Structure 1
Amino acid sequence: MNVPETNRSDALLTVSGLVKRFPARNGRTVHAVEDVSFEIRRGTTVGLVGESGSGKTTAGRTLLRLIEPTEGQAIFDGVDIFALPEKQMRAYRQRMQIIFQDPFSSLNPRMRVEAIIGEALDACNFPKGERRKARIGELLTLVGLQPEHGRRFPHEFSGGQRQRIGIARALAVEPEFVVADEPVSALDVSVQAQVLNLLSDLQQRLGLTLLFIAHDLSVVEYLCDEVVVMYLGRIMERGPARAVYGSPRHPYTKALLATAPVPDPTRKRTRVPLQGDIPSPIDPPSGCVFRTRCPHAIDACAQTVPQAEHIGENHHVACIRQSELAVAS
């Protein structure tokens, strides 16, 4: 089990040895998340990135116990929330919220916006009447909409506006920790920047702690303080954003960065070929799960599951060849 440093008092959430497996047909098992460990400091944004099928959404939802973990610990403000009975967990749900990927399917099309946000307020027994109406208006204003928008239905809004409604709903109960599950991937590029700016502003104004899930490393670079790179359920690399982007050490991280768009035409990235598709989590490769697509794989990569190696300033890499590859580069 790779356990991150936990002696820092500013850690709001420390995840250790998180495992999530699902039963499949014929007695087989889906290895969705395997031995994932990292921490999130209060008031910061951590990006959880990787291709589709890497397990990042499963990890995020498991941390909120929308999906129950198979193994592991999640220490939230000093309490292992994985060990809490459901009745005690309810008290923590107000402190932990989620913004979903699809801003349309996550909103009930038959309900007005004020009722959608009102459902979240019901969860914390917020009083009805004029006080609730004012609170809903405040939330809509907070996310860049108008109070009168509360009388409309979701289909009357654009995709970006619907995502703002989803953000308002998540913030209704004044959470400390928010999981943003690919909140801009379903939006046009021109709208993505607006929503990212909104999330960045809200994070600073409200002191939120964010876990931002994405497959686009360029999005994470803009928003996040630290980055966790996942592949087929395992962490390949994690560390401060400036270290991961400035000096990526894992071949998978380098490959993702090579395919990410660069807004500055004067900057160039070395192209690293990433061949084939991500393997099935039902039958993951032995040893390093990335070895079947890694241009630097050797026979030993099939024999050993690499452990996270500390290479400085909370920067960790899970690759048995990272030292020699760093010298070669």
Structure 2
Amino acid sequence: MSSNDILLQVEGLTKHFPTNNGVVKAVDGVSFDVKRGTIVGLVGESGSGKTTAGRCTLRLIEPSAGRLMFDGVDLRTLSEREMRVYRRRLQIVFQDPYSSLNPRLRVEDIIGEAIDTHGLAKGTARRDRIAELLSRVGLNPDHARRFPHEFSGGQRQRIGIARALAVEPEFIVADEPVSALDVSVQAQVLNLIQDLQQSFGLTMLFIAHDLSVVEYLCDEVVVMYLGRVMEKGPSRSIYAKPRHPYTQALLSAAPIPDPKASRQRVVLKGDIPSPMNPPSGCVFRTRCPFAIAECAQVVPAFDTVGPEHQVACIRHGDPEVISQGQQL
């Protein structure tokens, strides 16, 4: 794979939050690549650090350490003034369609704000651009003068997507954009995201906890747990042969669209530990059904188990772990 194929390269991304009682290790040495024109799914339970990692890639949250190579430039080396140029190229769609839109602004001003900031259009050209964006996301352009409270949750999320597209970005972080929506609306928004990604040639980091959504939408998957990456690789490879016990557990809980089909459920014991005091060695070991004494001593390195498919588990090659993945 050529370096020119990679738009975003995340290396050793770390974000620690100091508190009065210690340090919260929200993201702890995360690395992954996002190829141009693809969608990478960043998945994990609540508390896994995926949202913090996503916002760090845009420098909406300043990382504690690591490199963010975007199109060959390390974003962490840029001043705030230099970063303004990249703000147009990097956008985000937030999780909550209710709190992410300013209730005091009309839709035309919500979408037009970024257009004004970057001086992309004025007057008639600005109004035409906003109307075009509303139409593109499936909303009536005549509703540009309305306020957010006059729209449903799904419609508000479409407004958020239109806002992100207003400056013609190259890369979008979609932070659980359908988790707050009704199931019937989720499919519509997912189809919209897929259509827009293909139409505009966008590169996306799609954050989610629902692996069935990620399977439908994403080309590659990065599985996070307690601030670290457990497994990463092509979607088809990870869904066909998950090699990390945590990935296997997540997949076993994902719904199957066939009412007659079933899969063996992998039930994890206990709750996710505190990021202020993560377990030694493999951070997943306290809930892992295959953990052995060595797991407490060794921080597992990534092993390659298939084309671009890597897993951080010292037992990933053991027959019982492999068998568990094959049964899903």
Q: TM-score range by the shorter chain?
A: over 0.9
Counterpart secondary structure, 2:3: coil
Give the one of 5, 15, 32 matched to 1:10: 5
- Post-superposition Cα deviations, 1:169-191, rounded to whole Å, max 9, x if no partner, equal 00000000000000000000000
Which residue does the alignment assign to 1:206?
Answer: 200
Which residue does the alignment assign to 1:311?
Answer: 305
1:328, CA displacement in angstroms?
Answer: 4.7
Identity, in percent, stands at 69
1:110, CA displacement in angstroms?
Answer: 1.0
Which residue does the alignment assign to 2:161?
Answer: 167
Contact 2:222/2:232 (8 A) holds in 1: yes
Which residue does the alignment assign to 1:30?
Answer: 24
1:86, CA displacement in angstroms?
Answer: 1.4
Scaled by the length of structure 1, the TM-score of the pair is: 0.96
Distance in 1 (alpha carbons) for counterparts of 2:165 and 2:322: 46
Distance in 2 (alpha carbons) for counterparts of 1:242 and 1:327: 16
Distance in 2 (alpha carbons) for counterparts of 1:328 and 1:222: 25
RMSD, aligned α-carbons: 1.1
Q: Does 1:221 align with 2:215?
A: yes
Aligned length: 323
- Post-superposition Cα deviations, 1:268-313, rounded to whole Å, max 9, x if no partner, equal 3221111211111011111110001001111111111111111111
1:138, CA displacement in angstroms?
Answer: 0.4
Alignment of 1:139-178 (within 5 A): 139-178=133-172
Distance in 2 (alpha carbons) for counterparts of 1:271 and 1:34: 29
Out of 121-130 and 195-204, give the one that drifted further: 121-130
Scaled by the length of structure 2, the TM-score of the pair is: 0.96
Runs of 4 or more off by more than 6 Å in structure 1?
none
- Unaligned runs of 5+ residues in structure 2 are none
Distance in 1 (alpha carbons) for counterparts of 2:49 and 2:97: 21
Distance in 1 (alpha carbons) for counterparts of 2:85 and 2:6: 20
- Post-superposition Cα deviations, 1:201-254, rounded to whole Å, max 9, x if no partner, equal 000000000100001001100000000000000000000000111100000000
Counterpart secondary structure, 2:231: strand
Distance in 2 (alpha carbons) for counterparts of 1:257 and 1:268: 12
Counterpart secondary structure, 1:9: helix
Which residue does the alignment assign to 1:3?
Answer: none
Distance in 2 (alpha carbons) for counterparts of 1:266 and 1:12: 41
Distance in 1 (alpha carbons) for counterparts of 2:132 and 2:322: 54
Counterpart secondary structure, 2:4: coil
- Unaligned runs of 5+ residues in structure 1 are 1-5
- Post-superposition Cα deviations, 1:108-150, rounded to whole Å, max 9, x if no partner, equal 1111100111111112112321110000000001100111110
